[in-house]
């Protein structure tokens, strides 16, 4: 008779659901950097017990999304500008390669990235639903990875997308980025469909560079506001959250 297996206290999929719910809230800005998180509050809001919340918070801490704060429990971790710059460097290299390969295949096989993905993104932008915008953005880029014909591109990018989702959320909270983002996506999709390898690669590179620059500016503004608030210096009237 086989050895008795230990019972599983919490279903892994429930922990994953709590993890994803919290990550989505952190990415969209619903849970802001520095915000205190308690197991009791999260469990009540998600209608689950505290055990899956505790495990999800441990995973979020390991992945760098929350951090311990002496005397205050667990807080949403800030976005680190230098760490995100490096993530965008990796993403840029992978996105350019994927666009280049996808365009090369499109020239031979005559296909295009599903236009419904772009319409989905524009619809989310019009609805001002940041989490839906992030989902649409990720889906678009993953479609290009799939179209490249090289599964290693998507596999290489996958570990970074959780942090990229959060970066996207920070950028997409700024109104001007929402529609222009999908104009850029459509231009990339058109270049791929046309089989224009160099244009697809160039537009992808410019797209990622703009996203990285927008995030850096956003984080700089947030740091300036935090510093000004701590020192009692009023922020400029034009500054936005």
Using only the alpha carbons of the chain, give its radius of gyration.
20
Cα–Cα distance measured from residue 218 to residue 72, given in angstroms and rounded to the nearest whole number: 26
> Thinking of the domain 81-231, which architecture would CATH place it in?
Up-down Bundle (1.20)
Residue 37 has pLDDT above 90, yes or no: yes
Residue 69 Ramachandran class (φ > 0 left, ψ -120 to 50 alpha, else beta): beta
Which structure tokens are listed for 98? 């994927």
What does the domain layout of the chain look like in residue ranges? 12-76, 81-231
- Enumerate residues 6+ apart whose C-beta is below 8 A from 33: 76, 77, 78, 79, 222
Q: What is the mean pLDDT of residues 141-163?
A: 96
Half-sphere exposure of 192 (CA within 13 A, CB side): 30
Q: What angle separates helix 197-231 from helix 81-109, to the nearest 10 degrees?
A: 160
Residue 172 has pLDDT above 90, yes or no: no
Taking the model in full, what pTM does it have?
0.80
Number of Cβ within 10 Å of residue 136's Cβ equals: 22
Instruction: Tell me the pLDDT band of 175, cut-offs 50, 70 and 90.
Output: low
Q: What is the mean pLDDT of residues 33-39?
A: 92
Topology of the domain covering 12-76: Arc Repressor Mutant, subunit A (1.10.10)
Tell me the sheet residues that pair with 68: 74
Number of Cβ within 10 Å of residue 54's Cβ equals: 15
Residue 54 has pLDDT above 80, yes or no: yes
Q: Which residue has the tokens 């996203």?
A: 211
The distance of Cα 89 from the centroid of its chain, to the nearest Å, equals 15
What tens digit of pLDDT does each residue of 62-73 get?
A: 999 999 988 778
What tens digit of pLDDT does each residue of 4-26 get?
A: 544 335 566 899 999 999 998 99
């Amino acid at each position: 008779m086989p050895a008795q297996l230990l019972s599983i206290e919490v279903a892994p999929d429930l922990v994953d659901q709590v993890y994803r719910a919290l990550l989505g809230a952190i990415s969209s800005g619903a849970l802001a950097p520095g915000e205190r998180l308690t197991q009791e509050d999260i469990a009540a809001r998600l209608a689950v017990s505290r055990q899956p919340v505790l495990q999800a918070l441990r995973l979020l801490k390991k992945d760098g999304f929350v951090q311990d704060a002496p005397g205050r429990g667990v807080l949403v971790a800030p976005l680190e500008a230098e760490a995100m710059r490096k993530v965008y460097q990796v993403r840029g290299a992978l996105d350019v390669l994927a666009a280049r390969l996808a365009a090369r295949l499109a020239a031979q096989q005559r296909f295009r990235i599903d236009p419904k993905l772009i319409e989905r993104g524009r619809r989310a932008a019009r609805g001002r639903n940041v989490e839906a915008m992030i989902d649409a953005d990720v889906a678009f880029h993953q479609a290009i990875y799939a179209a490249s014909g090289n599964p290693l591109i998507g596999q290489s990018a996958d570990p970074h997308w959780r942090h990229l989702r959060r970066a996207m959320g920070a950028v997409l909270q700024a109104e001007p980025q929402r529609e222009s983002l999908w104009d850029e996506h459509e231009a990339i999709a058109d270049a791929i469909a046309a089989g224009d390898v160099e244009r697809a690669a160039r537009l992808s590179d410019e797209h990622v560079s703009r996203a990285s620059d927008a995030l850096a500016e956003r984080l700089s503004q947030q740091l300036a506001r935090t510093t000004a608030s701590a020192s009692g210096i009023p922020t400029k009237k034009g500054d936005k959250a």
